[in-house]
Amino acid sequence: MFISFLGTLPLGTLNIAAMQISVSDGIRPALYFSLGALLVEIFYVRISLVAMDWVTQHKKLFRWLEWVTILIITALAITNFIAAASPETQKNVILSHTIPKFYLGLAMSAVNPAQIPFWFGWSTALFTKKVLQPRNDHYNVYIAGIGLGTFLGNAVFIFGGQLIVTRLNANQGLISWIIGGVFAITAIIMAWRLLRKKNIV
């Protein structure tokens, strides 16, 4: 739970998206989004625990998923800049789409493979130290802790987003510029790392 909580705090696609949904659509949709995202993360961790060999043999698949993630982040950045530049457009057309936020969280998390090497590395370290044992009861408690930590980390952004809006007197344009900038920088960094053939952890 602690590792997952801290791993969720650095700015990333999912926590910034959760914050923006909180700002534009409210806390409940943002919580649904986070729930969908963390269910996919839990699924990925469970698969990686029982199929570590398969994960290590399919690096090309994860490389393609990373490019898909970069495209999504770029689209999010562009739509935020459009929303910031157009006073009549107050919401991000992707994140505020009519699709239920739970399914949006599932979809965005599913194409974000960065969590797989992150948990692959931590799981390997915990196996080596014999903190984590290859047993179902260990796996279940481990995954429950990961899910709770991710949810708590996203909650910081969800409720923090509401606080930021209050402090900025609900200046949606400024918030869109800031969030768009974060998405743009994230996309550039991810693309640069991929082009240099470095794994994103």
Q: Which of 33-47, 69-83, 136-150 has the lowest mean pLDDT?
A: 69-83
Model pTM? 0.67
89 Cβ partners below 8 Å, 6+ apart? 82, 83
Q: 57, 153, 39: which is closest to 107 by C-alpha?
A: 39
Give the whole-angstrom CA distance, residue 102 versus residue 195: 32
Question: Angle at CA 4, nearest 5°, toward 100 and 9?
Answer: 75
pLDDT of residue 90: 52
Question: Is 200 within the bounds of a domain?
Answer: no
Give the whole-angstrom CA distance, residue 25 versus residue 98: 11
Token pair belonging to 49: 């625990």
Give the whole-angstrom CA distance, residue 184 versus residue 172: 18
How many Cβ atoms from other residues are within 10 Å of residue 170's Cβ? 11
Q: 20, 9, 3, 29: which is closest to 154 by C-alpha?
A: 9
Using DSSP's 3-state secondary structure scheme, residue 111 falls into: coil
- Per-residue pLDDT averaged across 120-147, rounded? 83
Question: Is 13 within the bounds of a domain?
Answer: yes
Question: Is 9 within the bounds of a domain?
Answer: yes
Q: How many domains does the chain have?
A: 1
pLDDT of residue 200: 42
Instruction: Give the sign of the dihedral formed by CA 177, CA 178, CA 184, CA 188.
Output: positive
pLDDT of residue 61: 64
Question: Is 124 within the bounds of a domain?
Answer: yes
Question: Given pLDDT bands bounded at 50, 70 and 90, which one contains residue 26?
Answer: confident
Full residue range of the structural domain in which residue 84 is found:
2-195
How many Cβ atoms from other residues are within 10 Å of residue 44's Cβ? 21
User: Over 70: is that where the pLDDT of 129 sits?
Assistant: yes
pLDDT of residue 142: 92
Using DSSP's 3-state secondary structure scheme, residue 11 falls into: coil
Give the whole-angstrom CA distance, residue 7 versus residue 100: 26
pLDDT of residue 95: 61
Question: Is 201 within the bounds of a domain?
Answer: no
Give the whole-angstrom CA distance, residue 152 versus residue 122: 19
